[in-house]
């Protein structure tokens, strides 16, 4: 049976802004409260999606979440019409209001952790949405993410859905941004690396001094159990506290893998050589590892360039394409790593550069924008067709974005009732374009 990898990208929402909400995400904090360009952000994401679709890579689109999260604000005691709730919340406590307006669902790498059927003990695709407990604004995403994933992967013959873990720091789960699958090919039995930032029960382990870890070891263990993986398929690693303090808040800021290839910074994990030996043994010695030293690339430059947050994608014709942010080419040290990589990798490697500056300024690169899911042909055929990107859907989304999205937005604009109306009109039309029905609360 043939297996392929579906790249599922989050579509940037109409309320994309620079709120500076993610502590530990240095780019996000550096650009806090600046003016954003939602239209440009969405178009940049669509251009990356279209590139892969044109290469014959299965590409899909996740719709943005409804923002502002009016129903969540009502739970905090803000009453009246939706417009009244909006303005009262913004007036009474703007920092809390801002967290209910975040467009962070666009970073679909945090949506869930997925185990393909070729790996699981029951032969189903297992999907566990992330609770994103480390930040309040992101924890608001878990319920809708669960609903939309059940909507687009609805066939119980193929897909098994789990609830997010309890929303508590002890079980903080950041999804696929801290998970990598390694296999000789997409259709081969895979081995799963779970990278955590801390263990809630081990007080003796080294801890970061500046920023907290987000992914709990207990969460990683629970997700591995839920996703029906056997123990011999699982490897656990701890993020290097120095990497977290440098701004590598997720593993995908310091490492990227695809099939049997791994590109990793030497300071990505604690006891890294031991982790690599275990991974290599699980892979029968066939894991190809390229390790970048601090001398070649400091952690600070790795974080600023997001070179490890590139997408590595296997092409249908063979070979690999690497989608990297423009910053990785513009920063000399990062560019040297890319040149070295191209000279060193034995199989054909094409490096493509993408302008994702709006997303990058908010702390998310190419890999942050997508959730990768290995599917059989039958499983792919069972995915909701309305989210699968082709030229027709791309054209619709391009026109839709240009008609509905603003070109400038500052955080204070989020309290404007007109923007609420604009965004709802946009999302209502989007559900029709993607044939998703009434998925948003304002539609019901």
Q: Among all residues, which ones are annotated catalytic?
A: 174, 250, 368
Strand, helix or coil for residue 297: coil
- Name, in order, each residue with C-beta under 8 angstroms of 339's C-beta and a sequence gap of 6 or more: none
Give the 3-state secondary structure of residue 295. Answer: coil
Contact 204, 186 (CB under 8 A): no
Peptide bond into 68 cis (omega under 30): yes
| Rounded Cα–Cα distance for residues 14 and 233 (Å) | 40
Which residues lie below 8 Å from residue 35, measured CB to CB, with a gap of 6+? 18, 408, 409, 410
End-to-end CA separation in angstroms for the chain = 41
**Buried b / exposed e across 102-111, counting CB within 10 Å, b at 16+?**
bbbbbbbbbb
SS3 at position 381: helix
Number of H helices, E strands in the chain: 17, 15
Cβ-contact 68, 101 below 8 angstroms: yes
Contact 61, 9 (CB under 8 A): yes
List of residues 6+ apart from 391 with CB closer than 8 A: 53
Residues 317 and 285: beta-carbon distance below 8 Å: no
Q: Which long-range contacts (CB under 8 A, 24 or more apart) does 277-284 make?
A: 278/235, 279/182, 279/191, 279/193, 279/235, 282/182, 282/191, 282/232, 282/233, 282/235, 283/182, 283/184, 283/191
Distances (CA, A) of 383 to 145, 216, 224, 250, 344: 16, 31, 23, 28, 37
* Total Cβ atoms within 10 A of residue 277: 12
Residue pair 163/131 in contact (Cβ under 8 Å)? The answer is: no
């Amino acid at each position: 049976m043939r297996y392929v990898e579906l790249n599922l990208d989050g579509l940037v929402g109409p309320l994309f802004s620079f709120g500076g909400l993610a502590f530990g995400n240095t780019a996000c904090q550096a650009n806090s409260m600046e003016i954003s360009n939602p239209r440009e952000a969405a178009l940049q994401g669509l251009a990356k999606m279209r590139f892969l679709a044109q290469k014959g890579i299965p590409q899909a689109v996740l719709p943005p979440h409804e923002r502002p999260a009016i129903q969540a604000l009502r739970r905090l005691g803000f009453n009246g019409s939706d417009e009244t709730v909006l303005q009262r919340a913004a007036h009474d406590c703007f920092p809390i209001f801002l967290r209910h307006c975040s467009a962070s669902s666009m970073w679909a790498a945090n949506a869930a952790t997925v185990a393909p059927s070729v790996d699981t003990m029951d032969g189903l695709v297992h999907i566990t949405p992330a609770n994103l407990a480390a930040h309040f604004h992101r924890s608001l995403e878990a319920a809708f993410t669960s609903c939309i994933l059940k909507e687009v992967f609805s066939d119980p013959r193929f897909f098994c859905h789990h609830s997010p873990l309890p929303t508590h720091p002890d079980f903080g789960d950041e999804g696929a941004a801290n998970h990598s699958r390694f296999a000789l090919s997409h259709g081969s039995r895979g081995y799963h690396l779970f990278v955590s930032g801390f263990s809630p029960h081990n007080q003796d382990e080294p801890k970061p001094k500046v920023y907290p870890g987000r992914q709990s070891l207990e969460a990683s263990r629970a997700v591995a159990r839920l996703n029906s993986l056997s123990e011999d398929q699982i490897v656990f690693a701890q993020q290097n506290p120095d990497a977290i303090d440098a701004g590598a808040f997720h593993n995908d800021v310091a490492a990227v893998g695809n099939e049997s290839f791994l590109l990793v910074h030497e300071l990505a994990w604690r006891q890294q050589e031991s982790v690599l030996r275990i991974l290599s043994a699980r892979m029968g010695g066939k894991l190809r590892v390229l390790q970048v030293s601090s001398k070649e690339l400091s952690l600070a430059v790795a974080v600023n360039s997001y070179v490890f947050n590139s997408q590595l994608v296997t092409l249908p014709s063979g070979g690999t394409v690497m989608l990297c942010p423009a910053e990785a080419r513009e920063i000399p040290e990062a560019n040297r790593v890319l040149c070295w990589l191209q000279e060193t990798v034995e199989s054909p490697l094409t490096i493509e550069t993408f302008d994702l500056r709006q997303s990058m300024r908010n702390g998310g690169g190419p890999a942050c924008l997508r959730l990768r899911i290995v599917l059989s042909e039958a499983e792919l055929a069972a995915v909701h067709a309305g989210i699968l990107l082709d030229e027709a859907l791309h054209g619709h989304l391009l026109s839709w974005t240009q008609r509905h999205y603003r070109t400038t937005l500052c955080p204070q604009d989020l309290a404007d009732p007109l923007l609420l109306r604009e965004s709802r009109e946009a999302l209502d039309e989007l559900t029709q374009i993607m044939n998703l029905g009434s998925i948003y609360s304002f539609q019901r």
